[in-house]
Amino acid sequence: MIVNKSIHVLTITIMSLALIILLFSYDNPIILLIITLLFFAVFYKYNSVKKITQGIIYFIPFMLITVIINMIFVWDGRTVLFYILHKPVTLEALIYAVILSYKLLLIIYLFMIINLLVDSDTAVSYFSSKMPKSTLTFMIAMKLFPSMKEKIHNLKLIYTVRGVNFNHEKKTDLIKSYMPILSVLLENTLEGAFDIGEAAYVRGFLSSKRSIYEKQTLKKRDIIIILINILLIFLIIFCKFKNLYNIDIYQGLKSLSLINKFSITAAVLIILEGLIICM
């Protein structure tokens, strides 16, 4: 995997935040298309075109499930395609389900790009220098949560040998049978967290400034990308606050205005950002 160390961690963080806000705020297909082109360009730039296929593998089953659920429970829309059990299935409902699924695909691609552009050691080093306590808490959580699954399995085997039944039909009895496991798991997890905290204290964590052997500096391209994304975030907040350029697919496809000032401005900013990243 090629890691682009020339792009600052803070730059990628702000860019990811802006794109996530944009994806959750608007359903405009033009904006989604431009974001897709940005992601494909980054994958091509860093020789990771195979990740596109990997994302599609996750996208197809989720899209099918979303479309089926939308067909069953949502009857809004103006263009009726057919009826299922006397319930209308509309074109707008299908399009909305596909767009919702596609936005999840873009989120998956975004995290793939973060993994592609960010070195984990560099990210930990940077955020530890800026937010040491929060970074330590996050790292402890990342260390403890994966081990919980194995601990639950082992505890369940032990309590099964002791005669505890975990196959109750009633939910209340099932919850009661799992209470001892949760109690032991909580106690064990707290002890592990205290041990990590004590070890960090003994080693002098936060007693002085951390040593940084390879300090990242913001370059011109980083500053430009950060400014672009800050502008994009403010543009999204302003348009949402003023209730501008919102798209309601269920009102009918003819009433949609996909090309507007917001979509054009956002597209220009994203294209400019992509050109700078791929330089």
Output the pLDDT for position 228. 92
pLDDT band at 36 (very low <50, low <70, confident <90, very high): very high
**Tens of pLDDT along 258-269?**
778 888 888 899
CA nearest neighbour of 225 among 11, 3, 8 = 11
Output the pLDDT for position 1. 47
In the chain, which residue ranges form alpha helices assigned H by DSSP?
A: 9-25, 29-45, 50-73, 91-117, 120-130, 132-161, 171-202, 220-241, 261-277
Q: Distance between CA atoms of 25 and 78, rounded to whole angstroms?
A: 23
Tell whether the model's pLDDT for residue 34 goes beyond 80.
Answer: yes
In degrees and rounded to multiples of 5, residue 81 shows phi and psi of -90, -50
Output the pLDDT for position 256. 62
219, two tokens: 């370059």
Q: Is 266 helix (H, G, I), strand (E, B) or coil?
A: helix
Tell whether the model's pLDDT for residue 77 goes beyond 50.
Answer: yes
Tokens 């950060």 belong to 226
Q: Distance between CA atoms of 270 and 42, rounded to whole angstroms?
A: 12
164, two tokens: 């505890």
Rank 90-104, 112-126, 130-144, 250-264 by mean pLDDT and report only the highest: 90-104
Of the two residues 108 and 144, the one the predictor is more confident about is 108
Q: Distance between CA atoms of 260 and 245, rounded to whole angstroms?
A: 7
**Mean pLDDT confidence for 160-171:** 78
CA nearest neighbour of 249 among 34, 28, 67 = 28
Long-range contacts, stretch 261-267, CB < 8 angstroms, 24+ apart: 262/26, 262/28, 262/235, 263/28, 263/30, 263/31, 265/235, 266/22, 266/31, 266/34, 266/232, 266/235, 266/236, 267/30, 267/31, 267/34
Q: What percentage of the chain has pLDDT greater than the value 90?
A: 10
Task: Point out the least confidently predicted range of 24-28, 79-83, 247-251.
Answer: 247-251
Structural contact between residues 37 and 269, judged by C-beta atoms closer than 8 angstroms: no
Which pTM value belongs to this model?
Answer: 0.71
CA nearest neighbour of 250 among 32, 98, 79, 100 = 79
Q: What angle do CA 197, 200, 203 make, to 5 degrees?
A: 150
Give me the residues paired with residue 88 across strands. Answer: 83
**Tens of pLDDT along 167-217?**
777 778 778 888 888 888 888 777 777 777 777 666 666 666 655 556 667
Other beta carbons within 10 angstroms of residue 183's beta carbon come to: 11
Tell whether the model's pLDDT for residue 2 goes beyond 50.
Answer: no
Helix H or strand E segment including 88: strand 87-90
